[in-house]
Amino acid sequence: MFDPSEHRVASPLDWLDDELDQLRAAQLGRSRRLRASAAGPEIRLDGQQVISFASNDYLGLASHPNLASAARQTAERFGWGAAASPLVAGHDEPTAALEAELAAWLDTEAALVFGSGYAANVSTITALVGRGDVVYSDETNHASIIDGCRLSRAQVVVYPHGNAAWLADRLEAPSGHRRRLIVTDSLFSMDGDVAPLESLASLAQASGSMLLVDEAHATGVCGARGTGLIEALGLEHLVDIRLGTLSKSLGGVGGFVAGRRSLVEWLVNRSRGYIFSTALPPACAGASRAALALVHAEPQRRTVLADRARRLRARLAKLGWLAIGNDAAWASQIIPLICGSAEAALAASRALLERGLYVPAIRPPSVAPGSSRLRVALSYLHDESMIERLLSALAEIDRPT
């Protein structure tokens, strides 16, 4: 018999198997479940029909027929691929129109679309600061902000989560740096709480620092017109650099930066992730424009969602499941239920899956060790009966203490 293990030659990549074994032993291994249906509140996952509380499709637009048909129509006219960077092969009309609509929506002079929100953060931060500059970054900022800070070669000062007073102390004295940038998520992706944007905006103003606010999870959700938390707090004129994504509430793919015209012109000239990367297919812009039209025409998607989030948070608290961010300025649709160890979070997630509910366990490095959690992400498309099923399942399973 041929036994492959006997014939294996040592390879310089063998460390991969050792490291993966260790990850799995620490309950930190990750694997992908196969989804055999469109994104939505009910999906088919690894052959099981489940109610999903896992997606960032907060407004339920990812599978809306208007997006698919807009993509199809745009693809029929413009073809599929963009063929090169927008600086090389031409800035296609659908993307240009989307940028104009984003700028009008956010009431900024201009906007620029990137291939992803990840690319938008890395590309923007590295274009704004470099050696001799300093970035102040919240400790729970998204990985794309962290990576942008690291790549920029600027000095990075990580401040305690949401702690504007700590930052005020640091910003008081002139730092001797050429430029200073404060960067924060507005609605934090894993904690579901919000940044003290008002304080950060006045600190930025007082210290002459630039301020970049990443609205990835707030775009489409917060504010009367749905542009984000900046709008909800009335801070439009105090935030210089507004970043959002087309891939969460807007149901598609891509990221964007909005602000003054010179900001966009600078990024077109200096941002490596824009210059050296192929543009998104024009059809993606077509779909995003259809999503924006729905955000304008159907404000109930965000108001119903906000109302449901508030009520679910209150009911979870009654069950003894304390979520982060219940008393925040915005009771958000991201509801993290802290379990503690990675093992406890996995066990809770498995117990829910046995009951037909998919609520992912979030573990390090996405969150700090000891704060592993279930992350409940609500969507406009979750109806009352789905929420009742989640609540009764959570009442049944052992709540980690």
Ligand X SMILES: *Cc1c(COP(=O)(O)O)cnc(C)c1O
Q: Is 53 in the site for ligand X (CB under 6 A)?
A: no
3-class DSSP assignment, residue 138: strand
The answer to whether 318 is a known catalytic residue is no
> Is the CB of 190 or the CB of 344 nearer to ligand X?
190
**Token pair 């794309």 is at which residue?**
144
Q: Is 249 in the site for ligand X (CB under 6 A)?
A: no
Return the number of other C-beta atoms located less than 10 Å from residue 185's C-beta.
26
Q: By Cβ distance, which residue is nearest to ligand X? A: 117
* Largest pairwise CA distance in the chain: 76
CA distances from 342 to 297, 361, 367, 399 (A): 42, 8, 10, 14
Residues 251 to 270 in contact with ligand X, rule: CB under 6 A: 255
In what helix (H) or strand (E) does residue 236 lie, and over which residues does it extend? Answer: none
> Is the CB of 121 or the CB of 271 nearer to ligand X?
121
Number of H helices, E strands in the chain: 16, 13
> Is the CB of 60 or the CB of 244 nearer to ligand X?
244
Q: Is 218 in the site for ligand X (CB under 6 A)?
A: no
Shortest reach from residue 120's CB to ligand X, in Å:
7
Shortest reach from residue 387's CB to ligand X, in Å:
23
Torsional class of 291: left (φ above 0), alpha (ψ -120 to 50), beta (otherwise):
alpha
The answer to whether 69 is a known catalytic residue is no
The single residue among 216, 312, 342, 386 that binds ligand X, judged by CB under 6 A, is 216
Which residues contact residue 305 at a Cβ distance below 8 angstroms, ignoring those fewer than 6 apart?
Answer: 58, 59, 221, 333, 378, 379, 380
Identity (one letter) of the amino acid at 234? G
The single residue among 137, 245, 371, 379 that binds ligand X, judged by CB under 6 A, is 245
Q: Is 217 in the site for ligand X (CB under 6 A)?
A: yes
> Is the CB of 86 or the CB of 117 nearer to ligand X?
117
* Cα–Cα distance measured from residue 392 to residue 119, given in angstroms and rounded to the nearest whole number: 40
**Token pair 């050792």 is at which residue?**
18
Catalytic residue chosen out of the listed positions 137, 189, 271, 332:
189
Q: Is 247 in the site for ligand X (CB under 6 A)?
A: yes
The single residue among 144, 209, 271, 288 that binds ligand X, judged by CB under 6 A, is 144
Q: Is 159 in the site for ligand X (CB under 6 A)?
A: no
> Is the CB of 207 or the CB of 332 nearer to ligand X?
332
CA dihedral sign, ordered 346, 380, 113, 262: negative
**Token pair 């009008």 is at which residue?**
104
Question: Do the Cβ atoms of 252 and 284 come closer than 8 Å?
Answer: yes
Q: Is 117 in the site for ligand X (CB under 6 A)?
A: yes
> Is the CB of 60 or the CB of 255 nearer to ligand X?
255
Q: Is 185 in the site for ligand X (CB under 6 A)?
A: yes
Q: Is 124 in the site for ligand X (CB under 6 A)?
A: no
Shortest reach from residue 56's CB to ligand X, in Å:
7
Q: Is 126 in the site for ligand X (CB under 6 A)?
A: no
Compute CA 36 distance to the chain's CA centroid, rounded to the nearest angstrom. Answer: 24
Q: Is 133 in the site for ligand X (CB under 6 A)?
A: no
Long-range contacts of 152-159 (CB under 8 A, 24+ apart): 152/125, 152/126, 152/128, 154/129, 154/130, 154/181
Instruction: Using the rule CB under 6 A, give the single segment among 172-180, 214-222, 224-232, 369-377 that binds ligand X.
Output: 214-222
Catalytic residue chosen out of the listed positions 64, 142, 217, 382:
217
**Which of 213, 371, 328, 75 lies closest to 361 in space, CA to CA?**
371
Question: Do the Cβ atoms of 195 and 188 come closer than 8 Å?
Answer: yes
The single residue among 53, 60, 70, 142 that binds ligand X, judged by CB under 6 A, is 142
The binding site for ligand X (CB under 6 A) comprises 116-118, 121, 142, 144, 185, 189, 214, 216-217, 245, 247, 255
